[in-house]
Structure 1
Amino acid sequence: MGATEIGIDLGTANILVYVKGKGIILKEPSVVAYDKDTNKIRAVGEEARQMIGKTPGNIMAVRPMRQGVISDYEVTEKMLKYFISKAMGKRAFRKPRVSICVPSSVTEVEKKAVEEATYRAGARDVAIIEEPIAAAIGAGIDITIPFGNMIVDIGGGTTDVAVISLGGTVVSTSIKVAGDNFDEAIMRYVRKNYNLIIGERTAEAAKIKIGTVYPETLPHTIEVKGRDTVSGLPKSAEISSEEIREALAECIAQIMEVIHSVLEKTPPELAADVAERGIVLTGGGALLGGFEKLIEEETGINTVVAEDPGMVVAVGTGQYLDVMSKVEGK
């Protein structure tokens, strides 16, 4: 029996673990709660997420990944260790081969940090993969052929836009405007228009339930609860999907700008392929209502959302070694 192959999507918002032959076995928030006094980790993943904004002074619930980059190296390493050992279960006598995914904008130094952390967390081999390539593989695109495909991957910390051909990215841009920024924009909007301070989790819940980027004929509404900025007392407000669209307008405009700029930089032959094959939307942000309609309207190119968009990067990361061995003709 060979070593287990694991694919990890090290996301800013969620960590997904894919095990070859089993599919995705873990999906948990990239949150770690640790005790500042003893420096011990109290909880990881979903359990730690429940603690955000609700912890006593000595316990910190932190997200060690910010905008796709390791902001806290030690905590990230411990978090990886936790997820790798959870994925391996009892059969951990051989160290696993780990493919791990990073946004395309990370520097060599940051890549090295991820690689180091993964080795120290117990991997035998580590392959670092760029997010758009993993997203394309996971979305079921054959990236090994000389044919241009465009991926727009909207994660928690970064949005990656890339044109891929022959197993590599030809043109790619990554911006630090993604799901987290959407949540912040909603928090700002509610504070400004309703004098109401809401938390990150409340904003995220509103985004998931009624978030949209395209005008709807029948806007939905949701009640959000928080604290009144004037009286300081708990208060709630009713906000509509139309308001969320307004709150997100600026972020979305930045993402649209990147899509345009990548299309402008794409060599003509590949641009022709993209016009024919369309644009594929992946990542959790692809679930925002009407995103594909908006992109299609602004670019004139047929746009589709990948099936299960939040999962594709993890799946693609897990399948990467198999796919690339075809390219290299091993």
Structure 2
Amino acid sequence: MSNTIFGIDLGTNNIKIFNQSDKKILNEKNVIAIINKNQLFAYGDAAYEMHEKAPGNILVTFPVHFGVIADYKNMQILLIEFLKKASKTKLKNAEFIIAVPTDITEVEKKAFHDIVKSCGIKCKDVLIAEKPVADAIGIGLDIKSATGTLVVDMGADTTEISVLSLGGIVLSQLIHLGGNKLDESVISYIKKTHGIDIGKKTACALKETIGSAIKLDEPETMVAYGRDIVTGLPIEITIDSDLVYEAIKENLNSIVNNIKIILERTPPELSADIINHGVYLTGGGSLIKNIDVLLEQELKIKVNTCETPSESVVKGLMQMATDSKYRPLAYTMKVKIYN
């Protein structure tokens, strides 16, 4: 086994890299800023600061969309820079394990494998892991047992709903609905009700600061800035949590309905386990206030949350890479091991 092992979770909004040698997680925005069409200007958190603020000669982009690599070239540049930042040692002969969504094509999965192989690192090996499996391991579940587990990973562009048992995935559904869609709903709702156009960062801040999955007894408020669509002038407005709730409730109900569909398709014996142990909620989208309360009300099942839901996948990857119990759950693209 290599002394240097990296776990990589390429998310739409954030990239997470776990370096086994120093036990640290690099968690930065998965964004790149290119100047004059072909020169790297900034990446990560620094590039995100330029998002929606950059002049015409600086292009700020997110290389991953809906859980898959959409911009291979820029993702490759980003990955090389992030790996250099995450490691103080040489990357040669390092071993990598990278998470991929379950419900994507083999070609899309191979792109995750190839992006590491093509970085010019001369790595020892690149292993693939199913994201829901890594997710469950990262939050401390023993998925090798014959116990049914339901994991809901709410990401930026997607939500992955998976039932696991005996180290494998029994059912899984990837829906194109996540935190970014909620932000867009906030933007549209404020434009419709107040005639004010706000930016994506402002919408995200509103969602994260005063947003709630259920209506609050005592609404919270936040000052936001935008542009009046009638006069075209900058304007300041106070937004309350009820407005944000109204903007995002339909999307959250859609996620709930998709979880119900998976539960309806789950075999009875596994359903009994899920009822006993509850639903496990992870992903950055699960940080929305009271999302666990909403799910418990709608599903009538206990909902379990974790401290750092956005990092559960990358933590699971490292256990899969270093623990012989979970090692067989990762595979190469040449020979895939099915349970």
TM-score of the superposed pair, with normalisation by structure 2: 0.92
- 1:18 aligned counterpart, secondary structure: strand
Question: Are the aligned partners of 2:14 and 2:27 in contact in 1 as well (CA < 8 Å)?
Answer: yes
Q: Distance in 2 between matches of 1:215 and 1:137?
A: 33
Q: Does 1:159 find its partner at 2:168?
A: no
Question: Are the aligned partners of 1:212 and 1:288 in contact in 2 as well (CA < 8 Å)?
Answer: yes
Q: Distance in 1 between matches of 2:126 and 2:95?
A: 6
Question: Are the aligned partners of 2:5 and 2:321 in contact in 1 as well (CA < 8 Å)?
Answer: no
Shift of 1:18: 0.9
Partner of 2:336 in structure 1? none
- 1:190 aligned counterpart, secondary structure: helix
Q: Distance in 2 between matches of 1:31 and 1:251?
A: 25
Partner of 2:173 in structure 1? 173
- 2:42 aligned counterpart, secondary structure: strand
- 2:309 aligned counterpart, secondary structure: coil
Q: Is the alpha carbon distance of 1:12 and 1:108 closer, same or farther for their aligned partners in structure 2, counting shifts above 3 Å?
A: same
Partner of 1:94 in structure 2? 92
Partner of 2:128 in structure 1? 128
Q: Report the residue type matching 2:30 in the other structure.
A: S
> For residues 194-233 of structure 1, what are the structure 2 equivalents within 5 Å?
194-233=194-233
Q: Distance in 2 between matches of 1:31 and 1:98?
A: 21
Q: Distance in 1 between matches of 2:297 and 2:324?
A: 35
Q: Report the residue type matching 2:86 in the other structure.
A: A
Q: Does 1:60 find its partner at 2:37?
A: no
> For residues 139-150 of structure 1, what are the structure 2 equivalents within 5 Å?
139-150=139-150
Question: Are the aligned partners of 2:3 and 2:21 in contact in 1 as well (CA < 8 Å)?
Answer: no
Partner of 2:46 in structure 1? 47
- 2:188 aligned counterpart, secondary structure: helix
Q: Distance in 1 between matches of 2:75 and 2:36?
A: 16
Superposed CA offset, 1:123-155 (max 9, x none): 431122222111111111111111111101101
Shift of 1:66: 1.1
Question: Are the aligned partners of 1:16 and 1:24 in contact in 2 as well (CA < 8 Å)?
Answer: no
Q: Is the alpha carbon distance of 1:239 and 1:166 closer, same or farther for their aligned partners in structure 2, counting shifts above 3 Å?
A: same
Shift of 1:167: 1.2
Report % sequence identity.
38
Shift of 1:321: 2.5
Shift of 1:104: 2.1
- 2:93 aligned counterpart, secondary structure: coil
- 1:310 aligned counterpart, secondary structure: helix
RMSD over aligned Cα atoms: 1.6
Shift of 1:120: 1.2
Q: Distance in 2 between matches of 1:310 and 1:150?
A: 17
- 2:56 aligned counterpart, secondary structure: coil
Partner of 2:245 in structure 1? 245
Q: Distance in 2 between matches of 1:195 and 1:267?
A: 49
Q: Is the alpha carbon distance of 1:328 and 1:80 closer, same or farther for their aligned partners in structure 2, counting shifts above 3 Å?
A: closer
Q: Distance in 1 between matches of 2:4 and 2:70?
A: 29
Q: Distance in 2 between matches of 1:324 and 1:169?
A: 20
- 1:184 aligned counterpart, secondary structure: helix
Partner of 1:69 in structure 2? 68
Q: Report the residue type matching 1:224 in the other structure.
A: A
Question: Are the aligned partners of 1:24 and 1:314 in contact in 2 as well (CA < 8 Å)?
Answer: no
Superposed CA offset, 1:270-305 (max 9, x none): 111000010010011111111111111111111121
Shift of 1:326: 4.5
Matched pairs, number: 327
Partner of 2:235 in structure 1? 235
Q: Mean alpha-carbon deviation: is it higher for 19-28 or for 7-16? A: 19-28
Q: Is the alpha carbon distance of 1:260 and 1:323 closer, same or farther for their aligned partners in structure 2, counting shifts above 3 Å?
A: farther
Shift of 1:311: 1.4
Q: What residue ranges of structure 2 are gaps of 5+ in the alignment?
A: 330-339
Q: Does 1:282 find its partner at 2:282?
A: yes
Q: Distance in 2 between matches of 1:2 and 1:99?
A: 12
- 1:109 aligned counterpart, secondary structure: helix
- 2:128 aligned counterpart, secondary structure: strand
Q: Does 1:6 find its partner at 2:6?
A: yes
Q: Distance in 1 between matches of 2:23 and 2:327?
A: 23
Q: Distance in 2 between matches of 1:138 and 1:21?
A: 18
Superposed CA offset, 1:202-231 (max 9, x none): 111111111111121111111110111111
Q: Distance in 2 between matches of 1:276 and 1:322?
A: 30
- 1:237 aligned counterpart, secondary structure: strand
Q: Report the residue type matching 2:147 in the other structure.
A: F
Question: Are the aligned partners of 1:144 and 1:327 in contact in 2 as well (CA < 8 Å)?
Answer: no
Q: Distance in 2 between matches of 1:209 and 1:68?
A: 25
TM-score of the superposed pair, with normalisation by structure 1: 0.95
Q: What residue ranges of structure 1 are gaps of 5+ in the alignment?
A: none
